[in-house]
Chains A and B, each alone.
Chain A
Amino acid sequence: MAQWIAACAADDIDPEDVVPFDHGGRAYAIYRSPDDGYYATDGLCTHEQTLLCDGLVMDGVIECPKHNGRFDYTSGKALGAPVLVDLRTYPTKVADGTVYIDVD
């Protein structure tokens, strides 16, 4: 059962950037790609639980601000040391200028 939660306004995120979103005691990261695709992942790096929202978004990749661990934010795939565990991703949709994520 989908549980869509309003995360932020679509314009709150610059193209090729990330913003944090907290819900139910869990940290999420919401991304906007250069072609205005919206994506969501867990908000903490799987390596040492650093907030990804302070990281670098570039070419479909989020890079952790602490150890430069890299993930494909569209799939959550870990792209090599020091991150070995994939990020969990969440479905997103945009309606009336608001980004929703399915946290179920």
Chain B
Amino acid sequence: MSRQRLARYSLAGTENRAAVEAGLAGGDWFRSDVPRKRMKELMRRSDYPAIRDTAIWFGLILLFGGLGIALWGTWWAAGCFLAYGTLYGSTSDSRWHETGHGTAFKTRWLDEGLYQIASFMIMRDPTVWRWSHARHHTDTLILGRDPEIAAMRPARLARLLANFVGLVDVTTAFRMMFLHASGRLSADEADFVPEPERHKVYRTARIDLAIYAATIASAIAFRSWLPVLLIGGPRLYGAWLLNVYALTQHAGMGENVLDHRLNTRTVKMCAVNRFLYWNMNYHVEHHMFPLVPYYRLPELHQEIKHDCAAVYPSIWAAYKEIIPAILRQLGDTEYYVHRELPPGAAPFNVPKPANDGRGLPLTAVTAA
């Protein structure tokens, strides 16, 4: 089962070709009708919100990191490092994401600068993941095309759970760093990273490995865990919140459906979570209109909510659906979460053959 499952989700396998032949790759995705004038208002960027939020974010990281160092040797340090690690190892994800789209700041170098820093913190190569995420937006949850499907069908449950302490992501990140540093890409990466961009991947991997080597060397020299707790380590002990947020996006939902209203969740979150997650809980809205910066997504939500399925009222409400769905998919891989669009909403590519949640029948290829 495991090898067959991985083959289905591989970008280098038969599903990729099947998706292309079925017209699912680069498909025509549903978008709500928002007047151009209003959309221009929503797309407009300002430096102020992201500078404010980034200053607070870095301020908190420095505060808790500094307190952790100052209180080292006491139990108070554990709490400080839990906060530091979570900010570093989880919330760098949303900073990476927004700046990767180039929508957070109006000033380009601010955006690119934070993108490079956040990519290092979250242990993602900035070039590979820029292309990976572009593909995720082109082919969201399309089998054989989307490199960012977090919960396969059936899910690799042990890996999902291990990743709450970063074990899979960090192991994969270092494996990729060594591969990239040797001047190579994985087969999946070669499917979406163009040749002229690849030298950047190799260079970044060598720089990152040098930083981690220096961190470990200083830990050994000072006979202290502090350097590792401050650099790299947070991606392990602080990764839990990243996974809490990220699984709400698409886990358990229909694959091969060209409609983000059917394969993506928008989840209501409190102000603290929305700050930490940079409003990525408005995920249907983000996928439908990725040019809208995070600080305008609540307004965009108001514009299109009449077209979308009901929002999940809380993270808990989302998980009440996600956990049973993932568990059920362990034994029933044809099961997926059905979303009901409100009366009057435009239907688009509703899963029709519905033997496994797909928009188009790919049975013959899947069976192979």
Pick from B45, B131, B291: contact of A82, CB under 8 Å: B131
B110-155: which residues lie under 8 A (CB-CB) from chain A? Answer: 127, 130-131, 134, 137-138
- B137 cross-chain contacts in A, Cβ below 8 A: 66-67
Shortest CB distance A16–B (Å): 9
Chain A interface, DSSP helix/strand/loop, else mixed: loop
Q: Verify B131–A65 contact, CB threshold 8 A.
A: no
Task: For the complex, give the distance between the alpha carbons of A66 and B134 in Å.
Answer: 8
Pick from A47, A58, A68, A81: contact of B290, CB under 8 Å: A68
A22 at the B interface (CB under 8 A): no
**Which bucket holds chain A's interface residue count?**
10 to 19
Pick from A48, A65, A68: contact of B102, CB under 8 Å: A68
Q: Verify B130–A81 contact, CB threshold 8 A.
A: yes
Per-position 1/0 for A28-56, Cβ under 8 A of B = 00000000000000000001110000111
Chain B interface, DSSP helix/strand/loop, else mixed: helix
Pick from B103, B138, B194: contact of A66, CB under 8 Å: B138
Shortest CB distance B108–A (Å): 9
Task: For the complex, give the distance between the alpha carbons of A65 and B134 in Å.
Answer: 12
Shortest CB distance A41–B (Å): 18
Shortest CB distance A72–B (Å): 12
Closest to B195 in A: A84
Shortest CB distance B255–A (Å): 20
Closest to A69 in B: B134
Q: Verify B134–A82 contact, CB threshold 8 A.
A: yes
Chain B residues with a Cβ under 8 A of chain A: 26, 36, 39-40, 43-45, 101-103, 106, 127, 130-131, 134, 137-138, 194, 196-197, 289-291
Chain A residues with a Cβ under 8 A of chain B: 17, 47-49, 54-56, 58, 63, 65-68, 70, 81-82, 84
